[in-house]
Amino acid sequence: MNVVVPVPQDDKVRSLWTREDAERLYNLPLNDLLFEAQTIHRTHFDPNKLQMSRLLSIKTGGCPEDCGYCSQSALAPTGLKASKLMEVERVLAEARKAKDGGATRYCMGAAWRSPKERDMDMVIAMVEGVKALGMETCMTLGMLDPFQAKRLATAGLDYYNHNIDTSERYYSEIITTRTFADRLETLSNVREAGMKVCAGGILGMGESEGDRIDMLLTLANMTVPPESVPINMLIPIPGSRLANAPKVDPIEFVRVIALARILMPTSYVRLSAGRTEMSDELQAMCFFAGANSIFIGDCLLTADNPGEDHDTALFRRLGVSAEELDTAQ
């Protein structure tokens, strides 16, 4: 078997992963790749614990951006009804339910290109309110300038989610209303403001194997890699440009999860959107490959998620349970 030496991420002078390293890992015989990923996983995490987050769409639809995968773009005939920013009290009521359901992190998403000044007070009140419930907070509101990032960080926002979605090369095939560089700039503003970064992407948008590897390399080679890396399987949305994109081969999906685990040994890798379409066996394989975070609940932002009954049964069969929040931090 090839011996793979992971690059230590806490070295003062950190060496970067090369495309060659990543390709070699990705193309290992599957058993070797899984063994390597699971070995690394066990040195940093309890392999039988999953971090559980819950999502809420606080502002749905009517988005001016043209992301080809999204149900919420006003530019695609997806039939989704747009709604206004949710009242703070309603968000907090939903967050309480999520906490009772076992979620330790509450993620609030808005269909915006970027937050407007007039919305910031309500968004800040949501962060403070959810934080006061004793949950970790995460938001995904589109692009942030340094000032907005600082305001959110000061309010106590723990994580900001902003996905790079795919490789730099393929990005403009999927989104034309902003650039890959815009995405990286927001991520840098989030990091500078002192928040933790949640950044990942989507598989199944017609991208190549090289695009998937390059996406992971961009994340892994950041000065500080994201603490949370969501890997979404495209949920095809009727009316969206990617409604008929070719499906990802499940084994290739597992390979990407394993590669993410090896390239970013201490990050949480989230098996994110698309679990409803995955078999229990595929999910189990993703957890073995190093995925250790999921969204729970029966709804993501606008699309379905497996729901509590199915997940509870699956986790019992696999002997995995929810990771508790480390309140000592």
Q: Would you give the DSSP letter of residue 176?
A: S
Site string (245-274) toward ligand SF4, x via CB under 6 A? ------------------------------
Residue nearer to ligand SAM on the CB measure, 127 or 234: 234
- For position 237 contacting ligand SAM by CB under 6 A, the verdict is yes
Distance CA(50)–CA(98), nearest Å, equals 16
Report the b/e string of 259-288 with b at 16+ CB within 10 A. Answer: bbbbbbbebbbbbbbbbeebeeebbebbbb
Please enumerate in sequence order all residues whose Cβ is within 8 A of that of 124, keeping only pairs 6 or more positions apart, or say none.
151, 152, 155
Tell me how far, at minimum, the Cβ of 138 lies from ligand DTB, in Å. 8
- For position 232 contacting ligand DTB by CB under 6 A, the verdict is yes
Answer yes or no: 63 catalytic: yes
**Which of 17, 45, 106, 112 lies at the binding interface for ligand SAM (CB under 6 A)?**
112
Answer yes or no: 118 catalytic: no
Residues within window 68-97 making contact with ligand SAM, judged by CB under 6 A: 69-70
Answer yes or no: 286 catalytic: no
**Which of 51, 137, 140, 148 lies at the binding interface for ligand DTB (CB under 6 A)?**
140
R_g over Cα of the chain: 19
- Give the DSSP per-residue string, 181-222: HHHHHHHHHHHHTTPEEE--EEE-SS--HHHHHHHHHHHHTS
Answer yes or no: 67 catalytic: yes
**Which of 55, 67, 108, 289 lies at the binding interface for ligand SF4 (CB under 6 A)?**
67
Tell me how far, at minimum, the Cβ of 198 lies from ligand DTB, in Å. 7
Q: Residue type for 89, please?
A: E
Tokens of 232: 């979404």
Place of tokens 């309110």: 129
Site string (4-43) toward ligand DTB, x via CB under 6 A? ----------------------------------------
Place of tokens 């004793």: 134
Contact segment (CB under 6 A) with ligand DTB among 3-11, 170-178, 227-235, 250-258 equals: 227-235
**Which of 61, 68, 109, 265 lies at the binding interface for ligand SAM (CB under 6 A)?**
109
Just list the catalytic residues: 63, 67, 70, 107, 138, 198, 270
